[in-house]
Amino acid sequence: MKKFIAVLSTMVMLGTLASCGDNSTTTDNGSSNNGTKTTTTAKADETTTKAEESSSGSKTVGIAMPTKSLERWNRDGEYLKAQFEDAGYKVDLKYSDNKTEQQNNDIQSMIADKVDLLLIAAIDGETLSQTLADAKAADIPVIAYDRLIMNTDAVSYYVSFDNYTVGKLQGEYVRDALKLDSEAGPFNIEFTAGDPADNNAGFFFNGAFDVLKPYIDEGKLKVPSGKTTFEQVATPTWSTDKAFENMQNTLASYYSDGTQLDVALCSNDSTALGVAQAITQDYGGSNAPIVTGQDGDIANLQNIVDGKQSMTVYKNVSDEAGVTLDVAKAILSGQTPDGNLSLSAEATFDTTTYDNKVKVVPSYLLVPYVITKDSLDKLVDTGLYKWDSSNKYLESTASTT
Ligand code: BGC
């Protein structure tokens, strides 16, 4: 079955790559949130003026993405490249195969090539300090993309979603689906969290756990495995295979006696894919446990249609790319972006939440929302997904973006 999941992961990856096309020169080289905030309202006009184009024409933006093996980063890379190029910038986009050393080397080579700005989605937020010190010495501004970069003063801005809210939406979904405020329970839940090297993972877990903890304390929600800390349920590299194995072990150890599993709270779609597969294969109960996710990956949207996953928290990464472009443009034209920056999508300017242990990094946080089987059309409305020829499943329009 391990093999099946490996094949599944590969299929997901290949499906993604196929759907994304390959119109770029990229390679994978082998392979609690309560700060003071200002809301910046979206502006509709995305037109780039001729003047802007000519001032950006000579500038190059280096984009470092973690890996092509997790679906969303393929979409991020494609949207970022397209939007920056449309605005007149040259783009150097590199994927680093989820290897920290490779990402350091890739960024070093962009610094050597004298890119004008770096956008980095870190593989391990803790491992880039020296490389970013070199970027700073070369006067290259750095935007942390989606994941915060830790232990450095060289990161100027952070563009992401409200990560705590992502988890909170998952917790609230579970609370409402089980009617925890009115039903007596008890219900059984298990948690699957993300990669400890990714600063986002703790925010997602805490957002969900903070909603559900009162019900756990009250005894309405039980965790038969006893695993209730982030460290106990983390999934290195957000691996589908690892999440699958962990869930298999949990089911074998705590549910083989007929105990009912009501909820598998998964922080994102890559882990939800493995967990749903373990449930399909190894869970003996007659109920369909609630499975949460995040991202709107194609395989997970398929699972939502098939009743194997209940919801996903959707993050429009095309909008994330757009806001990143807004911030980058401002920096490259000598401005200091703040809460007054005009943005192409709704985002909150946050100057208190994201402390990277050296500085609190000013952040633009976009708005995530829940998608269920009943609201898949909302994804079609974004223009980033379309119904397939059977009209049953969604596919990405990313390759034509
Ligand atoms: C992103 C998630 C994604 C995860 C694994 C996180 O940093 O915010 O959207 O699911 O990485 O790729």
pLDDT digits (tens, 9 = 90+) for 177-227: 999 999 998 999 999 999 999 999 999 999 999 999 999 999 999 999 999
- Give the model confidence (pLDDT) of 64-121 as tens digits: 999 999 999 999 999 999 999 999 999 999 999 999 999 999 999 999 999 999 999 9
- Give the model confidence (pLDDT) of 323-357 as tens digits: 999 999 999 999 999 999 999 999 999 999 999 99
Sign of CA dihedral 266, 39, 320, 155: negative
Closest approach atom of ligand 1 to CA 315: 9
- Give the model confidence (pLDDT) of 164-179 as tens digits: 999 999 999 999 999 9
Rounded to the nearest whole angstrom, what is the distance from the C-alpha of residue 139 to the centroid of ligand 1? 29
Band of the pLDDT at 49, cuts 50, 70, 90? very low
Closest approach atom of ligand 1 to CA 200: 7
Rounded to the nearest whole angstrom, what is the distance from the C-alpha of residue 49 to the centroid of ligand 1? 33
User: Who has greater pLDDT, 29 or 300?
Assistant: 300
Of all protein residues, the one whose alpha carbon is nearest to atom 9 of ligand 1 is: 295
User: What is the predicted pLDDT for the residue at 20?
Assistant: 34
Rounded to the nearest whole angstrom, what is the distance from the C-alpha of residue 133 to the centroid of ligand 1? 25
Terminal CA-to-CA distance of the chain, rounded, Å? Answer: 36
363-366 and 347-350 beta bridge pairing: antiparallel
Pocket test for ligand 1, best of 146, 195, 318 (most atoms within 8 A of CB): 146
Pocket test for ligand 1, best of 200, 267, 270 (most atoms within 8 A of CB): 200
User: What is the predicted pLDDT for the residue at 32?
Assistant: 38
Give the mean pLDDT of 117-127: 97
Residues with CB under 6 A from ligand 1: 70, 72, 146-147, 198, 200, 238, 268, 270, 294-295, 315
> What are 236's two structure tokens?
């290195």
For residues 191 and 209, give the distance between their C-alpha atoms in angstroms, rounded to a whole number: 9
Question: For 180-270, where are the E strands, in sequence order?
Answer: 187-192, 221-222, 263-266
Band of the pLDDT at 398, cuts 50, 70, 90? confident
User: What is the predicted pLDDT for the residue at 56?
Assistant: 64
User: What is the predicted pLDDT for the residue at 55?
Assistant: 59
User: What is the predicted pLDDT for the residue at 46?
Assistant: 41
For the stretch 258-285, what's the b/e string if a residue is b when 16 or more beta carbons lie within 10 angstroms of its beta carbon? eeebbbbbbbbbbbbbbbbbbbeebbee
Report the percent of the chain where pLDDT is more than 90. 84
User: What is the predicted pLDDT for the residue at 83?
Assistant: 98
Is pTM, for the whole model, over 0.85? Answer: yes
Judge whether residue 400 has pLDDT over 90.
no
Closest approach atom of ligand 1 to CA 204: 8
The closest alpha carbon to 323, from 28, 2, 76, belongs to: 76
Closest approach atom of ligand 1 to CA 161: 8
Closest approach atom of ligand 1 to CA 66: 12
Closest approach atom of ligand 1 to CA 72: 12
Of all protein residues, the one whose alpha carbon is nearest to atom 10 of ligand 1 is: 268
Whole-number average pLDDT of the chain: 89
Cis peptide before 236 (omega within 30 of 0): no
Q: How many C-beta neighbours within 10 Å does residue 44 have? A: 6
User: What is the predicted pLDDT for the residue at 305?
Assistant: 98
The H or E element spanning position 159 is strand 157-161
187-192 and 263-266 beta bridge pairing: parallel
Rounded to the nearest whole angstrom, what is the distance from the C-alpha of residue 200 to the centroid of ligand 1? 7
